[in-house]
Chain A
Amino acid sequence: MIIEIGHFALILAACVALIQGTLPLMGTWRQDGQWQALAKPTALLQFALIALAYGTLTHAALIDDFSVKYIAGQSNTLLPVPYKVASVWGGHEGSLLLWVLMLSGWTVAVAVFSQRLPLPMVARVIAVLGLISAGFLLFILITSSPFERLIPAPADGRDLNPLLQDPGLVIHPPMLYMGYVGFSVAFAFAVAALLSGRMDAAWARWSRPWTVVAWMFMTTGIALGSWWAYYELGWGGWWFWDPVENASLMPWLFGTALIHALMVTDKRGGFKAWSILLAIGAFSLCLLGTFLVRSGVLTSVHAFANDPERGIFILILLALVVGISLTLFAWRAPKATLGGEIGLVSRESMLLANSVLLVVATAAVLLGTIYPLIIDALNLGKLSVGAPYFNAVFVPLMVPVIFLMVPGGIAHWREAKLQSLARDMRLPATAAIVAGAAVWLFTDRGTALTGMGIGLAVWVVVGLLVQIADRLKKPGRIAPSFWGMHLAHLGIAVVVVGITFVKGYEEERDVRMAIGDNVTIANYDFTLREVTVVDGPNYKALQAAVQVFKNGQPIEVLRPEKRKYFSSSMPMTEAAIDYGWFRDLYVAMGDPIPGDKQQWAIRVYYKPFVSWLWGGAVLMVLGGLLSVSDRRYRNTKKTLAA
């Protein structure tokens, strides 16, 4: 009965979303304040109804109500409680419900934090969000309801995919979704600006903190996903150019470009049309990502359904969003003024160059991601695009982006003097060349590429130190957003260091080991001590104990496992990792190899600086947090009046 209440609440939510999406918008045309004022209460009501629906599904998961088909497919009586909660978004239907829950949550946040915004603007933004929500609610209700019953109920559920039974994965999807959905707010602001015809700096200022928050969530989500792939999939990789990863990387790249373009629009009044296009693009890529991940056109751990109807529904939604917003753009954008002359060497020109490069990189990733799908859909054969393509294309495009981060930050707005710019860059350039050359020439396996990677990272770090020193010399309070920007840029440098060292200096050995055997990589000795059977709550595992020595000193016992979950015959590799600031040691266990003497296949990795990848992401997120804490975003009314 409870689950039916949830279903009913969701139907009501869809009706409310339709009202929220239409009446306030009509109100702005008719200049009817009362109709516009409907936006906020409908947004709150919609959120309450979706939260109720979501709550009933979580309740069903917690009490093991396997008469609900979705729960029977995702959960199991033996599943630990946190995973039961997570199992609600472990499948297609529930994850979409989480999508709309977050969308309505963002809408409520907009309603609450927009007290200082003019009512028509708020009404437009909330209405656009309402329309998106209505689309997704209809999608859930028509094609993928999680509230379907399964009669008679099975005695036990099928269990959550063992790959997903992991603390990292409990928070990865919600984070990524917060990012995906968060860009809908930036999109709604852009569309609202187009509708109003007022594409001024105020629009960009309102939109900036929302975009940064969405970007922060997305960064967290991507980093968590990458970290999860690293420790859970058992082959030590952290980025596979899997279509699903690309689906999250593309909006992230657009979002990064959008953050910077919005800054120019806010501060200088330039790039208005460009900002709007980027906002539309970022959200469209989020929808495309949802389509790729959820439609079943891709086959991966993320693809739940193979129901073509669902894919087509999202595709239609995507076509509507892109079509309508671009039409609106074509109609209104010519009204956007250029916002003054821009010098060829100026902060603007470098920001523009970088955002164009980010868009080109996104296009290249998009090509590699969807080309195989299109060829397959047209029945022209089956093919895939290998990781070498992405590496060959992405790295050369990112090098100039990272290079331009320094002059872009130092150069003046409007027109920079080449001479003084060159003078300011002498220090970072010298440091970068020295560091890069040292790595290339004097480290064991140094190459031109590793030298360049380290050189770039040093370039960015010294570059931002120069900027900070420069700023400290000037009087006046330094805004948190200044520190936020440099912290995020520092994060980029840290990620570059991580990528360079892992790619350039990692070591890997696949060996077979009997008890007492040992293997050596990079000054570390690994000795297999024993293999025991371990019982988990819903699995049984073979666990190896591998003693690690450095220079003869024992430092750690790593215990990789090979698990077998009761609910499926699917074995799982659980790698054991010794984390460190400057290196990870990674041991994964393979199959037993029968013979006279029992042996096991063991894979050992030495991963230098791998944790810097995620450390860099943490710095980026903290940087974003600092910049949204800036007071100027909360004083919009004052600046508006000015």
Chain B
Amino acid sequence: MKQRHQRLLWISAGIVALAAAGFFILNAFQSNLVFFFSPTQVFQGEAPKARAFRVGGMVKAGSLKKDGAHVQFIVTDFTHEVVVSYTGLLPDLFKEGKGVVAQGELSGADGFKASEVLAKHDENYMPPEAQHALDQAAAAKAAKTTQPAQ
């Protein structure tokens, strides 16, 4: 009988440990989800204030300003714009007029402070998030222009 009790104890300890691991995993998971927002959504205030998120769209032509390792550029979905600042080397394929995704936080009046500008692997490749943002903005525009006619 004693051995059975001992085994029961160990098994329940194992289950408690697994449950703790599960809780801890889901907790870490929850706090590390990074959501994506288009410039329009950022403009409408949907993006979180004190949490990292991603913003994507096109790099507005002529908006790139470099000051040493510090860079600033505008991400647009052709409806709204977000000013992004970043310190560090830009990825090889970063170009004005091309798609981009940046990860970081909103920082007061400075706009979006990026901790990471995502690299793409092919010149013709468009980040799906950025494409999504453009499509959404275009759809919203189309909806607006057709509304008065109805």
Contact = CB atoms under 8 A, between A and B. Distances in A.
Contacts of B50: none
Interface in B91-150: 92-93, 119, 121-123, 125, 127-129, 132
Contacts of A393: 24-25, 28-29
Contacts of A301: 121-122
B34 A386 contact: yes
A382 B129 contact: yes
Nearest to A233: B119
Contacts of B89: 235, 510, 588, 590-591, 601, 603
Contact of A368 (B29, B36, B52, B66): B29
A301 B88 CA distance: 22
Contacts of B10: 344
Nearest to A341: B3
A511 B92 contact: no
A529 B126 CA distance: 37
Contacts of A386: 32-34, 52
Contacts of A570: 92-93, 122-123
A152 interface: no
Interface string B62-87: 00001011000000000000000001
B16 interface: no
Nearest to A372: B33
A454 to B, nearest CB: 24
A385 B33 contact: yes
A601 B123 contact: no
A334 interface: no
Given A234-B92, A570-B93, A601-B69, A383 B35 contact: yes
A37 interface: no
Contacts of A591: 89-90
Given A161-B122, A389-B28, A512 B92 contact: no
A555 B24 CA distance: 48
A356 B21 CA distance: 12
Contact of B68 (A300, A344, A573, A593): A593
B32 A367 contact: no
Given A163-B121, A360-B21, A299 B132 contact: no
Nearest to A302: B121
Contacts of A573: 92
Contacts of B32: 385-386, 388-389, 392
Instruction: Say which size band chain A's interface belongs to.
Output: 35 or more
Max chain B CB contacts within 10 Å: which of A233, A381, A393, A603? A393
Interface string A573-608: 100000000000000101101000000010100000
Contacts of B18: 356, 360
B66 to A, nearest CB: 6
A520 interface: no
B29 A389 contact: yes
A383 B33 contact: yes
Contacts of B128: 299, 382
Interface string A324-346: 00000000000000000000100
Contacts of A371: 29
Interface string A506-545: 0000111000000000000000000000000000000000
A510 B28 contact: no
Contacts of A590: 89-90
B129 to A, nearest CB: 5
A299 B92 CA distance: 17
A257 interface: no
A344 B7 contact: yes
A385 B122 contact: no
Contacts of A593: 66, 68
For the complex, would chain A's binding face be called helix, strand, loop or mixed by DSSP majority?
mixed
Max chain B CB contacts within 10 Å: which of A299, A360, A388? A299
B69 A511 contact: yes
B6 interface: yes
Contacts of A382: 35-36, 54, 128-129, 132
B34 A383 contact: yes
Contact of A367 (B29, B69, B119, B129): B29
B123 A569 contact: yes
Interface string A369-412: 00100000000011111101100110011000000000000000
Max chain A CB contacts within 10 Å: which of B7, B52, B68? B68
Contacts of B6: 344
A593 B28 CA distance: 40
A108 to B, nearest CB: 35
A512 B52 contact: no
Contacts of A512: 68-69
Contacts of B68: 512, 593, 601
A34 interface: no
B90 to A, nearest CB: 7
Given A368-B29, A393-B28, A510 B35 contact: no
B25 A510 contact: no
B27 to A, nearest CB: 9
Interface in A251-295: none
Contacts of A571: 92-93
A573 B119 CA distance: 12
Contacts of B92: 234, 570-573
Contacts of A381: 35-36
A393 B32 CA distance: 11
Interface in A474-516: 510-512
Contact of A397 (B21, B34, B119, B127): B21
A572 B127 CA distance: 19
Contacts of A163: 121
A17 B33 CA distance: 44
A344 B8 CA distance: 11
Contact of A510 (B7, B33, B69): B69
B126 to A, nearest CB: 9
A364 interface: yes
A327 B92 CA distance: 49
A590 B66 CA distance: 13
Max chain A CB contacts within 10 Å: which of B7, B18, B52, B125? B125
A367 to B, nearest CB: 6
A172 to B, nearest CB: 15
B29 A510 contact: no
A602 B97 CA distance: 25
8 contacts: A301-B121, A301-B122, A386-B32, A388-B32, A510-B69, A572-B92, A591-B89, A603-B89
Given A360-B18, A393-B29, A573-B92, 16 more contacts: A161-B122, A163-B121, A300-B121, A301-B121, A360-B21, A382-B36, A385-B34, A389-B32, A510-B69, A510-B88, A510-B89, A511-B69, A570-B92, A588-B89, A591-B90, A603-B89
Report, nearest first, the 9 A-B pairs whose CB atoms are least far apart.
A389-B32, A382-B36, A301-B121, A392-B28, A590-B89, A570-B123, A383-B35, A510-B69, A386-B32
